[in-house]
């Protein structure tokens, strides 16, 4: 370790763990005080194919440096000089920002949890990604996803740049399972570095937990001496696979040497002839670009989904870097590249227009088209769901899309895999539309995004093309939007809620109930009937007993209705229900509250339990307003007494979902040492 990077005063102790149980599959942690880190000699002798690796974690940034140990000298000294020259390909080094920042703050670009993945045979850098885990919401999921998809055997470095523990949340349990001794105990201001073999031993783990000090660690290790896979007499596809994998860091089972994904991907079970007929000639368009790690996951799941027809699957690339193209070659999926230009949402706006145009030209006769994105995982029931609902696009002109994503399907509001809804909603992550709708969209979709008020393409379609039409969506989702992309940063808590706190159905072949009753006339009639039969709730919706008391008094009646005041307001020149009048109300039920999406004409439908459905009716906005009995008072968030509003605003029933829990608030070095040593 170099001078000056770690001070060895008692209040600045560094905890360091080094595993000496090489190649035994057992990770034993030895607790050293700081000064022992420096002197701890290694229990192996460095051979020709050994490397040294240094990591650095501080308020200033981070650094990782790797070099080859010289072959001549056998030694145990952990210094750069002792390890000899670096060949050029090892010469990678990063440092961030100049000035020293003293306080932990929300991470700037490049700050957070730094992940590096190296090839265990040649120390080549395969993946370098920084997760902004100084943010509490959302990114833990992406971090977890990447860690999971690193192949066993890879050399991995995690190190914190500035701050990156707040957003770790329950991923620390996964890190502990992978062998980290310290991850679960890190404080907000901790600096930490962990060098390990995925699925194997820790090379070195070091942290400071109670102050903003730097850490720097230096380790040496032998490279893996097993030869690359795919050599010798394996098939050409296997050779291509392992060649590809030798350059990739997070490709999941595709590059897992111990249980590799079979290629070609085995065919999933069939859904039967009825489904096949319903899905015949329906192209499945997968839009993708440079996030090939996501694309690998999305595609391998899709290829294993019952009902997939390979001949109908088309990948349309905007960006088309070599790792994406090679992946598609390995998976034997055909693709088209469309030109893209611009940045961020401007780019996406014109890209999706080009995709629609391409589809209109190339699949003009298709009965409908299914669209997916590279970071959308489908449920095994995806095609079964589509096969039972697609006919509605043609049969009911008041329906413009079939979504696989559930607009309302939060974990505690989704119970019935066979239940469907219709409502005002945009096309959402795994959707089907008709060619007519595509043409309609293209007729008003500007070629340039310049001067456009609504630049998110799906929201643009919703606002300006859908008109009064609605979409069908399931109560329990048939797709899951797992990736982090261009718009993730905008509002992390909303992203977490809208995408991650949703269920994804794991069964397939679910028979949907009463699909024909989704057509507008039937739906209206049934809804009218249900609302008029429902038990009316009166009182403060944010009090726990409102629902439970009325369930008691109605003895098993499963339909409830709540009436509230709702007017319209103008947005983008269009009349919409006023979000300020229902935001709190929906929040109190743990439902989507930021827009009217998912509602049907001012009626929110919530599954509160397997046998309880709540209708929330906005009066006078909703055409169902006339069902409100005269004696029922209209709840209005703007006119309830202050003491009632305090209860509403507190949202005790669902507040926990939005509360930040700071980890290890009382952790000190002494506590940690006694905890780890079992004293």
Ligand X SMILES: *[C@@H]1O[C@H](CO)[C@@H](O)[C@H](O)[C@H]1NC(C)=O
Question: Does residue 394 contact residue 463 with C-beta atoms inside 8 Å?
Answer: no
**Number of residues located near ligand X, criterion CB under 6 A:** 27
- Helices 322-331, 292-303: axis angle to 10 degrees equals 10
Q: Which is nearer to ligand X, 9 or 170 (CB)?
A: 170
Q: Which is nearer to ligand X, 121 or 524 (CB)?
A: 524
Q: How far apart are CA 432 and CA 289, in angstroms?
A: 21
Contacts to ligand X from residues 389-418, by CB under 6 A: none
Question: Does residue 158 contact residue 192 with C-beta atoms inside 8 Å?
Answer: yes
DSSP-based three-state secondary structure for 92: coil
Contacts of 318 by beta carbon, 8 Å cutoff, 6+ apart: 287, 288, 289, 337, 338, 340, 347, 351
Q: Which is nearer to ligand X, 220 or 534 (CB)?
A: 534
Residue 609 binds ligand X (CB under 6 A): yes
Q: Which is nearer to ligand X, 65 or 470 (CB)?
A: 470
Q: Site for ligand X (CB under 6 A): which residue of 246, 612, 640, 653?
A: 612
- Measured CA distances, 245 to 124, 150, 256, 600 (Å): 12, 11, 9, 48
Q: How far apart are CA 239 and CA 255, in angstroms?
A: 12
Q: How far apart are CA 157 and CA 65, in angstroms?
A: 11
Q: How far apart are CA 380 and CA 369, in angstroms?
A: 19
Residue 551 binds ligand X (CB under 6 A): yes
Instruction: Kindly give the residue spans of alpha helices, DSSP state H, lying in 50-162.
Output: 80-83, 139-148
Q: Which is nearer to ligand X, 445 or 562 (CB)?
A: 562
Q: Which is nearer to ligand X, 76 or 552 (CB)?
A: 552
Q: Site for ligand X (CB under 6 A): which residue of 341, 610, 638, 666?
A: 610
DSSP lists the bridge partners of residue 284 as 313, 370
Residue 527 binds ligand X (CB under 6 A): yes
Q: Per CB under 6 A, which region of 13-21, 227-235, 469-477, 525-533 contacts ligand X? A: 525-533
Question: Does residue 600 contact residue 618 with C-beta atoms inside 8 Å?
Answer: no
Q: Which is nearer to ligand X, 347 or 419 (CB)?
A: 419
Residue 359 binds ligand X (CB under 6 A): no
Question: Does residue 614 contact residue 606 with C-beta atoms inside 8 Å?
Answer: yes
Element (H, E) at 672: helix 669-676
Least distance (Å) between residue 544 CB and ligand X: 8
Least distance (Å) between residue 237 CB and ligand X: 6
Q: Per CB under 6 A, which region of 70-78, 147-155, 315-323, 556-564 contacts ligand X? A: 556-564
Q: How far apart are CA 306 and CA 154, in angstroms?
A: 33
Residue 657 binds ligand X (CB under 6 A): yes
Residue 336 binds ligand X (CB under 6 A): no
Least distance (Å) between residue 521 CB and ligand X: 12
Burial of 416 by CB count in 10 Å (0-12 exposed, 13-18 middle, 19+ buried)? middle
Q: Which is nearer to ligand X, 15 or 328 (CB)?
A: 328
Residue 304 binds ligand X (CB under 6 A): no
| Pairing label, strands 61-68, 50-58 | antiparallel
- Measured CA distances, 32 to 136, 181, 203, 205, 669 (Å): 31, 13, 14, 11, 12
Q: Per CB under 6 A, which region of 8-16, 383-391, 459-467, 497-505 contacts ligand X? A: 497-505
DSSP-based three-state secondary structure for 39: helix
Residue 556 binds ligand X (CB under 6 A): yes
Q: Which is nearer to ligand X, 526 or 650 (CB)?
A: 526
Residue 332 binds ligand X (CB under 6 A): yes
First to last CA, the chain: 29
Q: Per CB under 6 A, which region of 103-111, 226-234, 436-444, 495-503 contacts ligand X? A: 495-503
DSSP-based three-state secondary structure for 419: coil
Q: Site for ligand X (CB under 6 A): which residue of 211, 247, 418, 501?
A: 501
Residue 530 binds ligand X (CB under 6 A): yes
Contacts to ligand X from residues 251-290, by CB under 6 A: 264
Least distance (Å) between residue 531 CB and ligand X: 8
Residue 496 binds ligand X (CB under 6 A): yes
Name the site residues for ligand X (rule: CB under 6 A).
264, 310, 332, 493, 496-497, 500-501, 523, 526-527, 530, 545, 548-549, 551-552, 556, 558-559, 605, 609-612, 657-658
């Amino acid at each position: 370790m170099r001078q000056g990077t770690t001070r060895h005063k008692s209040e600045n102790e560094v905890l360091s763990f080094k595993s000496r149980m090489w190649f035994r599959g057992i990770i034993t942690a030895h607790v050293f005080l700081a000064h022992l880190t420096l002197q701890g000699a290694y229990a192996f002798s460095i051979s020709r194919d050994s490397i040294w690796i240094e990591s650095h974690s501080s308020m200033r940034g981070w650094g990782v440096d790797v070099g080859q140990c010289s072959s001549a000298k056998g030694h145990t000294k952990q210094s750069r000089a002792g390890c000899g020259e670096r060949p050029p390909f090892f010469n990678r080094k990063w440092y961030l920002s100049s000035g020293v920042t003293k306080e932990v703050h929300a991470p700037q670009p490049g700050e957070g949890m730094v992940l590096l993945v190296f090839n265990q045979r040649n120390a080549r850098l395969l993946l370098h990604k920084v997760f902004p885990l100084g943010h509490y919401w959302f990114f833990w999921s992406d971090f977890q996803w990447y860690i999971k998809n690193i192949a066993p055997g890879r050399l991995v470095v995690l190190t914190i740049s500035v701050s990156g523990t707040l957003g770790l949340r329950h991923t620390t349990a996964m890190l502990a399972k992978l062998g980290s001794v310290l991850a679960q105990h890190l404080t907000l201001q901790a600096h930490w570095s962990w060098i390990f073999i995925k699925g194997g031993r820790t090379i070195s783990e070091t942290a400071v937990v109670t102050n903003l000090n730097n850490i720097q660690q230096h380790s040496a290790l032998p490279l893996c001496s097993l030869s690359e896979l795919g050599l010798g007499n394996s098939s050409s596809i296997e050779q291509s696979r392992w060649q590809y994998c030798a350059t990739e860091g997070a490709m999941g089972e595709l590059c897992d040497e111990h249980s590799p994904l079979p290629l070609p991907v085995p065919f999933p079970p069939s859904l039967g002839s009825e489904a096949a007929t319903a899905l015949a000639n329906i192209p499945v368009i997968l839009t993708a670009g440079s996030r090939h790690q996501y694309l690998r996951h999305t595609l391998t799941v899709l290829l294993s989904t019952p009902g997939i027809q390979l001949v109908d699957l088309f990948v349309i690339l905007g960006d088309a870097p070599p790792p994406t193209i090679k992946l598609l070659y390995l998976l034997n999926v055909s693709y088209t590249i469309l030109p893209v230009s611009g940045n961020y949402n401007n780019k996406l706006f014109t890209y999706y227009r080009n995709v629609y145009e391409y589809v209109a030209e190339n699949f003009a006769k298709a009965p409908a088209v299914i669209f997916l994105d590279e970071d959308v995982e489908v449920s095994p029931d995806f095609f079964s769901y589509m096969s039972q609902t697609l006919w509605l696009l043609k049969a009911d002109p008041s329906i413009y899309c079939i979504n696989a994503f559930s607009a309302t399907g939060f974990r505690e509001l989704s119970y019935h895999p066979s239940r469907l809804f219709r409502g005002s909603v945009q096309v959402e992550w795994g959707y089907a539309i008709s060619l007519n709708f595509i043409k309609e969209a293209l007729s008003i979709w500007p070629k340039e995004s310049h001067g456009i008020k609504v630049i998110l393409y799906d929201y643009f379609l919703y606002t300006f093309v859908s008109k009064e039409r609605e979409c069908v969506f399931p109560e329990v989702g048939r797709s899951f939007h797992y990736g982090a992309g261009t718009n993730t940063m905008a509002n992390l808590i909303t992203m977490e809620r809208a995408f991650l706190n949703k269920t994804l159905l794991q069964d397939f072949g679910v028979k949907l109930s009463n699909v024909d009753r989704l057509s507008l006339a039937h739906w209206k009639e049934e809804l009218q009937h249900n609302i008029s039969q429902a038990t009316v709730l009166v009182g403060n919706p944010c009090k726990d007993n409102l629902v439970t008391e009325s369930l008691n008094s109605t003895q098993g009646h499963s339909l409830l209705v709540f009436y509230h005041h709702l007017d319209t307001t103008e947005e983008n020149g269009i009349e919409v229900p006023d979000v300020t009048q229902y935001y709190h109300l929906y929040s109190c039920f743990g439902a989507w509250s930021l827009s009217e999406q998912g509602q049907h004409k001012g009626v929110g439908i919530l599954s509160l339990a397997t046998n309880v459905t709540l209708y929330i009716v906005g009066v006078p906005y909703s055409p169902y307003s006339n069902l409100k009995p005269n004696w029922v008072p209209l709840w209005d968030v703007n006119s309830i007494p202050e003491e009632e509003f305090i209860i509403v605003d507190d949202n005790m029933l669902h507040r926990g979902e939005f509360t930040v829990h700071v980890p290890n608030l009382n952790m000190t070095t002494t506590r940690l040492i006694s905890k780890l040593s079992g004293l």
